[in-house]
Amino acid sequence: MNRRHCLIASLSLPLWPLAAHAQARQALRFPRDLGSHPDFAIEWWYITGRLQAAQRDFGFQLTFFRSRVPVTQGMTSAFAAKQLIFAHAAVTDVANKHLLHDQRIARASGNTQVDLATASEVDTNVQLGDWSLRRDGGTYQAKANGSDFSFQLALRETQPLLLQGDQGWSRKGPEAHQASYYYSLPQLQVSGQLSLGEQTLPVQGQAWLDHEWSQSLMHPDAVGWDWIGMNLLDGSALTAFRLRTKDGAALWAGGSLRAPSSAQAEIFGPDEVIFTPQRHWKSPASGASYPVEWSVQIRREQPRTSVNVLESYTINAVIDNQELDSRQSTGAIYWEGLSELLDSRGQLVGRGYLEMTGYASPLRL
């Protein structure tokens, strides 16, 4: 068995102790918390967005995952995998209704002379081979080279950090330890190059960044989640998510809405976000059935009246087949794709990404 297959095989085993323990909650500090948190079990930096080139639309994703391996922490070998770093990249070609994707995996021992992957603790700077995500001032540089696509993008901040949940502490279940540190950067302005085969296109667009880390994320009854991160046309940012049980019921939910002129987001609790599937698509590759059209309702308190109303949105995937098979890295099959956000009148009000996990098989984190 080669080294790559050894790393993949290790994903079937717990990468941290199964006994959940409470996290000692701390206030977030920046720019330190833009960087890696190697003492936490799991972490990811996640960028998605819409690109435009020559009147063509594309979606893109670049995600770096870090997973701590407790059994190797006391080892002194330079080759001991103290952390595993994974990366996923994808491009949705809307006109051709085609998804391109690739994945990487490497160990991180802390020895830069032998490591193929690194994640800085000072600021956002994650690298896995020739894939990278790096922050330089108010701009992120993202680079990925897949087997049949590549992109090099500059993503410029236009809004302050959006702290999800309670000042960056985002509950993910009914028990206190089922939570993560979580912030977002919506409405990123993107420019750069996208290569498809031998064709290279100058692109521009909008993107969304999430950074999340945790010791214990999922309730044992949860099989997966549904999530949206939407850049609204008026400059607002909408987040909504739910964790599901095996019968499709919501175990937990949450989200946020921030106006473009506001530094603070309106935070939604588990009783204020309702996901209802509207249309399904069945993957010919995995056999999984994914809701590619959703109704999402947000219960909000109206200013000055304190009356609660339900605001309704529809999420439509721009193409149905945006399923990613990451069994050669993180071990999961999931759906992640460019989508449109419509209001209750059917008017386009935003674009962003829809993520659905646990439909092909239960997700385990």
Domain range annotation of the chain: 30-356
The Cα–Cα gap between 232 and 341 comes to 8
Instruction: Report pLDDT for 18.
Output: 33
Task: Tell me, yes or no, if the pTM score tops 0.75.
Answer: yes
6: enclosing H helix or E strand: helix 3-9
CA 324 vs CA 38, 55, 92: distances in Å: 27, 26, 11
User: CATH for 30-356?
Assistant: 2.40.370.10
* CB count in 10 Å sphere of residue 116: 14
Instruction: Report pLDDT for 123.
Output: 98
Instruction: Report pLDDT for 263.
Output: 85
Instruction: Report pLDDT for 114.
Output: 74
Tokens of 4: 């790559």
The Cα–Cα gap between 69 and 84 comes to 7
Tokens of 160: 């302050």
The Cα–Cα gap between 295 and 274 comes to 8
The Cα–Cα gap between 80 and 83 comes to 9
DSSP 265: P
Please identify which residue in the block is written with the tokens 């490497």: 106
10-residue block means of pLDDT along the chain (365 residues)? 36 35 77 96 97 96 92 69 91 97 89 84 97 97 97 98 97 91 98 96 98 88 96 98 95 97 93 98 97 97 76 98 86 94 98 97 76
Instruction: Report pLDDT for 108.
Output: 83
Instruction: Report pLDDT for 65.
Output: 96
The Cα–Cα gap between 54 and 165 comes to 39
Please work out, in degrees rounded to the nearest 5, the angle formed at the alpha carbon of residue 42 by the alpha carbons of 40 and 47: 125
What single string gives the DSSP state of each residue in 46-67?
Answer: EEEEEEEETTEEEEEEEEEEEE
